[in-house]
Structure 1
Amino acid sequence: MRILQTRDTMSDIYLAAVKIRNQVFVKEQNVPLSIEIDGNEAYAIHFVLYDDKKIPLATVRLLPIDEDQVKVQRMAVLKEYRGQGLGKILLNAAADFAKEHDFKEMTLGAQWQAQNFYQQMGFKTAGEPFEEAGMKHITMTKQLVN
């Protein structure tokens, strides 16, 4: 397995990320494409996890909020590859990247059914549930420094 990242929205890595997101969010979860691809694409760091045959299986993006905080967004694993720990591998790589770049906190809006996954990854709930893209979410945060 290999994880690559980019900020270049014209790169093959970014295009692989969008293809995964389209499959998971637009086709499976019926998120409108008009909100799935947003104005933050060029500001985010896009990560893609590839298998040994260079097939893209999972993606996540990090959006810097300020010098201390980065937001985890668009976390997606293709349906046929879920349950294999790929999300954990990818999220750990994104957290390592954030630490290396001196971010102190990660935040995210977790889909309601994904709370346990993020809790296992060290995130804690913060605030009240909210709706986004027609789905219930909860804000979660993780400190990257002790």
Structure 2
Amino acid sequence: MALQRSDFRFFHRLRVRWAEVDMQRIVFNAHYLMYFDTAISDYWRALALPYTEAMEHLEGDLYVVKATIEFHASAGLDDQIDVALRCTRIGSSSITFSGAIFRGDRHLISSEIVYVFADPATQTSRPVPQALRDILLGFEAGEPVVQLAVGRWVDLRPAAAALRSRVFIEEQGIDPAIELDALDDGAVHAVLTNRLGQPVATGRLLVHEPGVGRIGRMAVHRVLRGGRFGQQVLDALMAAARERGDRQVVLHAQRSAEGFYRRLGFQPCGEPFEEAGIAHTEMIKGL
């Protein structure tokens, strides 16, 4: 049965590479299952779930017990294809995903993948946790996968500090003595959490000078970068600046993140500089 793009909420785009085609220059059949498996990883990101940490929180893991592929037409070298997935059934211990691969609107491949939720130590099945069930069904129903909180450090510190420590101290090697500072107490903070309550993005807003806000400590969980979670935090902080009457916001962007801020309308100001041992650029945006 031909599927339509409108049957799915989630899509993962990729381009067929030379190493994935056979002598006929069409995708070798075994690679389609790899495409679906790659898309599944991105599906968890769309749910704002860092897979390893989420499964540890849920005290289980997912194991494939069935995977089928149905071929309708072939993808070829350099084709851009969209791998679509949806959760179609959740049983007592099993989760079924239906998938399709499209080139444009043409349906090329169908798939069904069945996972069992199990104890990692014994690999014996366990009931699908209600929290995971709610997340999957909620996503497919169009519900938000994250919750935003904007407020004071005294209220948001546990989540914000945990994520900042992971990103700035553990990942980037910044001295803990300068990561947490006295400015946190007077700042407006924003924290984005997934439906398991895990922090996935955070940032803070200070007063730079009258009428100008300063955004900083922007951090997004490493696994979830590129998923617009940082943008949601940034938008919330700019809204808070606008609400208090700021005309402009300024931030110190790590050079590796400069493109992210440019896409959201920030413009560089002045020459690059080093801060905490990392190259930065000052960037400004009017409100």
Please state which band the TM-score falls in when normalised by the shorter chain: over 0.9
1:50-92 CA distance string (max 9 Å, x none): 1233321110000112330111100000112112110111111
Q: Equivalent of 1:128, from 255, 263, 271?
A: 271
Distance of 1:66 and 1:133 partners within structure 2? 22
Structure 1, unaligned runs of 5 or more: none
Structure 2, unaligned runs of 5 or more: 1-145
Query: Runs (4+) of structure 1 moved beyond 4 Å?
Result: none
Look up the match of 2:189: 46
Higher relative contact order at CA 8 Å, sep ≥6: structure 1 or structure 2? 1
Aligned-residue CA RMSD (Å): 1.1
Look up the match of 1:101: 244
- Structure 1 residue identity aligned to 2:189: H
Look up the match of 1:7: 152
Look up the match of 1:81: 224
Distance of 2:195 and 2:170 partners within structure 1? 26
Alpha carbons 2:153, 2:184 under 8 Å: kept: no
Alpha carbons 1:128, 1:138 under 8 Å: kept: yes
Distance of 2:149 and 2:284 partners within structure 1? 24
User: 1:118 aligned to 2:265?
Assistant: no
- Structure 2 residue identity aligned to 1:38: D
Sequence identity (%) = 37
- Structure 2 residue identity aligned to 1:4: A
Alpha carbons 1:6, 1:14 under 8 Å: kept: no
Three-state SS of the structure 2 residue aligned to 1:40 is helix
Distance of 2:271 and 2:252 partners within structure 1? 11
C-alpha displacement at 1:20, in angstroms?
Answer: 0.4
Distance of 1:49 and 1:64 partners within structure 2? 22
Look up the match of 2:80: none
- Structure 2 residue identity aligned to 1:54: G
Aligned length: 142
Larger Rg: 2
C-alpha displacement at 1:8, in angstroms?
Answer: 3.6
1:16-62 CA distance string (max 9 Å, x none): 10110000000000000001011211111111011233321110000
Give me the TM-score of the superposition, normalised by structure 2: 0.48
Three-state SS of the structure 1 residue aligned to 2:209 is coil
